[in-house]
Structure 1
C-alpha cells in the first residue's frame, strides 16, 4: 500500500519515478571526443558483438560473422539465417551465437551443434548477451519475452520488463533461471561467489544477481541506456557501453501514455521521439532543423537522441573514466567493446565503424 501511495505522490509532484530530471555528466563522465578521435580499424554495416577468440578478433555485422584482419579489413566466417544478437567464446574454440529469430546455438567445441529455441518450455525471443564461465556453462540474457532485439525501441516505448537471466548447463542439458522481470538486460559478466553482473537498460542501472537470486544495485541513475559489459584485460575493472542517451524529452514522453500510444500507432519507429543509434539523417526525424542547428552549426544545448559512450568501472561499480562521441560526432550507438593491450576496440553500430582508442 505504501508503494502505491508513494507512486501516486511521485506522479503528483513530478518526483521520484515520475521525475524527468537526469543525472549530470561530470567527473569521470565528463564529455570528451575520444571515440571520434580514435583510430578507425574497419568500416562495415552495423558492427556489433566484438570479442577475442583463439581464431582472432570476431564480430558480427547483421547476419554475418566476421574476423578482423591485421590489415584492417574483415573476412566473412559464416552467415546466419537472421541477425546475430549476441556472441560468447569459451576461449578454447566454442562460440555461442544468439540470433534475432529466437535461437541460440553453439559452433565448435565439445558441444558443437547444440541448439536451443526454448528454456524450460519458455520460448527464446531476444537473446541479448552471453558469457561462458567454463566450456559446459553458459550465462545468457534474454532481453524481452515480448519483442525481438530488432524491436528494442518498441520494448522501451511500451515500458516492458519481461527480461530474464539464465544459467545453462550444456553437459546436463538443464537451464536455471537466475532472475526474471528485468527491463531489458543487455550485458552480463560472471562475478565472485557464483554471482553475475548484469546491465538493465530501461532502468539505467547495473545489477549484481546472487546465486540465491537476490539482486543488488551496483550502479544506478546512469545518463544513458547501458549495453554490454566486459572485463578488463588486466585487473578487475569492467567496461560498460551506453548505446543511447537519456533526455528530458524522452523521459517526458515515457510518462505520457496517451501520446506515446498514438505515436506508436501512427508513426514509423525510426521517427519516434525515442533513443536512436545514429545521428540524424532525415528531415522526418523529431527535433531537427532550427531546434538543433543555427546557420549550419549544432546548438550547444541541442538535445541529442544518439551518442557514443563507454565507461570504465572499478570492482565496486564506480566510474573511473569514459570515452565519448558527442552530439556533433558520428560514431554513435556503441553497443560493445573489447579491451586489449593495444587499446580499447569499440563497435559503433550507428556509425558503421570499428575503432580503437588508446588508453
Structure 2
C-alpha cells in the first residue's frame, strides 16, 4: 500500500467513519446471553464434522458430517446409518418435495440423491450455473413447486476456507436457481458477501437467505418465472455471522449464527495493512478472527478481556468462538435465542431444525448434536 493509498484511506476514514460497517450491536432483549445451549441434551455420541441437518416429511432426520450423509433413526435418534458418501465434504442439506436428498458437496456441486435404503444410491449432479462452478456451495432448499435454490459462499474460496474470505472482505458469493430436475440452472443474484444459507419462508411466498459478512438476512418474493422479485433486507447489523435458516414449525424461522462479532475483529477488518501482514506471516489457526470452536492452545489470540483464570475462560469475556441460535418471526424480529458463551461446549452453530421432540441444533465447532426440548421463554 503506497503513500497515496494511505492518504486516501485516512481521508475516507475522517469523512465517512462508518462507511464500511455498522458498530457492533450489544446483545440485549431477545438476544440477551444465556446458557440454554449448554443446558441442552446431547443426542448420541459426538459427530465430528457435523454441518447441516434436514428433516423429511416422514420425520426422518439426515445429518451431513465429513464426507457422509447420515440417517438418524430409533429412540432418541440414537441409530445412525450412512446414506451416501462423497469425495468431498458434505455440507448443506435439504429434502426435496419428491423425496430426493439434496446435498452440497465441496469441490463438486449439488448432488440429488435417490434411494439408498438397501442398495446403492443414485446420484444426479449439478456442477455449474451460467458457466460458473458450484464448488463452494453453503446451503440449499426446494420451493413448493419443486424449484431448487442454492447459495455459493464464495467464488474465490471453498466453503471450508470461510475465514480467508472474511479476512479478504469477500463479496463474490451468489444465489443459484434451477428446475426440479437440476436443469436450466442460472445465477439469480451475484456479488453477495458470503451467503451462508437459504430457505423458503413458512408461507411459501418468499425466499430468505443470509449474507454472513454483511451481518444481515434478506428475502425476495418467489415469482412464477425462474427469476426472483425485488430483494428486501429483513434483518441488518446482527451481532453475529448469520448462516443457515430453517422453518420453526410455528410460522417463523430458526437462524443459526456461526459466531459473534467483537470489536477487536471489526478493528482488524478495518486495518488493511495489519490484516494482510497477519495473513501472510501467521498460521491461520492464530489469526485474530472468529473460530467455530475454542482450543487449549497457549498461542490462541487473547481478545482483550478474554482471559483464562486457572485454565477456565471467563464466560462473560469477548469470545473467539460462540454458540448462538435465534428464533425469528417473518418480520425479522427475534423471539428467543439460545447461547453457549465463552467456555461453553456448543459452539459454531451451523444449522438447526424443528422436530416434534424439540429443536435439534448442530454444533460444528464441537462436533455434536443437541436438542432443546423446552418451548419459548
TM exceeding 0.5 = yes
Instruction: Identify which range, 263-272 or 10-19, moves more after superposition.
Output: 10-19
Deviation for aligned residue 1:49: 0.9
User: Does the CA contact (< 8 Å) of 1:94 and 1:107 recur in 2?
Assistant: yes
Structure 2 unaligned blocks of 5 or more: 1-8, 116-120
The reply on whether 1:117 has 2:119 as its aligned counterpart is no
Decide which of 347, 358, 373 is 1:343's aligned counterpart. Answer: 358
Deviation for aligned residue 1:21: 3.2
User: Does the CA contact (< 8 Å) of 1:335 and 1:348 recur in 2?
Assistant: yes
Instruction: Identify which range, 177-186 or 135-144, moves more after superposition.
Output: 135-144
Distance 1:25 1:34 in 2: 15
Aligned residue-pair number? 351
- Tell me the secondary structure at the aligned position of residue 279 of structure 2: helix
User: Does the CA contact (< 8 Å) of 2:328 and 2:335 recur in 1?
Assistant: yes
User: Does the CA contact (< 8 Å) of 1:10 and 1:16 recur in 2?
Assistant: no
Distance 1:129 1:270 in 2: 25
The reply on whether 1:77 has 2:83 as its aligned counterpart is yes
User: Does the CA contact (< 8 Å) of 1:90 and 1:134 recur in 2?
Assistant: no
Change (3 A) 1:356 1:297: same
- Tell me the secondary structure at the aligned position of residue 265 of structure 2: helix
Distance 1:32 1:290 in 2: 19
- Tell me the secondary structure at the aligned position of residue 280 of structure 1: coil
Match of 2:94 in 1: 88
- 1:24-35 to structure 2, matched below 5 A, reads 24-35=26-37
Change (3 A) 1:300 1:12: farther
Instruction: Describe the superposition over 1:24-43 as per-residue Cα deviations: whole angstroms up to 9, x where unpaired.
Output: 11100011111000000021
User: Does the CA contact (< 8 Å) of 1:90 and 1:135 recur in 2?
Assistant: no
- 1:120-199 to structure 2, matched below 5 A, reads 120-134=130-144, 136-171=146-181, 173-191=183-201, 195-199=206-210
Distance 1:80 1:243 in 2: 24
Distance 1:55 1:238 in 2: 18
Change (3 A) 1:135 1:80: farther
Distance 1:33 1:300 in 2: 10
Instruction: Describe the superposition over 1:65-91 as per-residue Cα deviations: whole angstroms up to 9, x where unpaired.
Output: 111232424222222111012111014
- Tell me the secondary structure at the aligned position of residue 263 of structure 1: helix
User: Does the CA contact (< 8 Å) of 1:178 and 1:213 recur in 2?
Assistant: no
Match of 1:15 in 2: 17
CA RMSD across the alignment: 2.4
Instruction: Identify which range, 162-171 or 46-55, moves more after superposition.
Output: 46-55
User: Does the CA contact (< 8 Å) of 1:10 and 1:18 recur in 2?
Assistant: no
Change (3 A) 1:158 1:289: closer
Match of 1:64 in 2: 68
Decide which of 239, 249, 263 is 2:254's aligned counterpart. Answer: 239
Distance 1:288 1:255 in 2: 16
With the length of structure 1 as denominator, give the TM-score of the two structures. 0.91
Change (3 A) 1:39 1:259: same
Match of 2:118 in 1: none
Match of 1:205 in 2: 216
Change (3 A) 1:291 1:226: closer
Instruction: Identify which range, 250-259 or 114-123, moves more after superposition.
Output: 114-123
Instruction: Describe the superposition over 1:100-159 as per-residue Cα deviations: whole angstroms up to 9, x where unpaired.
Output: 1132111117x9532121112111121111111147411111111111001000010011
User: Does the CA contact (< 8 Å) of 1:20 and 1:252 recur in 2?
Assistant: no
Match of 1:3 in 2: none
Change (3 A) 1:172 1:202: closer
Instruction: Describe the superposition over 1:178-226 as per-residue Cα deviations: whole angstroms up to 9, x where unpaired.
Output: 2111101111112468531111100000011244453211001110000
Distance 2:351 2:21 in 1: 29
Instruction: Describe the superposition over 1:269-297 as per-residue Cα deviations: whole angstroms up to 9, x where unpaired.
Output: 12111110002331121117995123444
Distance 1:300 1:243 in 2: 18
Distance 2:182 2:284 in 1: 42
With the length of structure 2 as denominator, give the TM-score of the two structures. 0.87
The reply on whether 1:52 has 2:67 as its aligned counterpart is no
Decide which of 309, 313, 323 is 1:298's aligned counterpart. Answer: 313
- Tell me the secondary structure at the aligned position of residue 273 of structure 2: helix
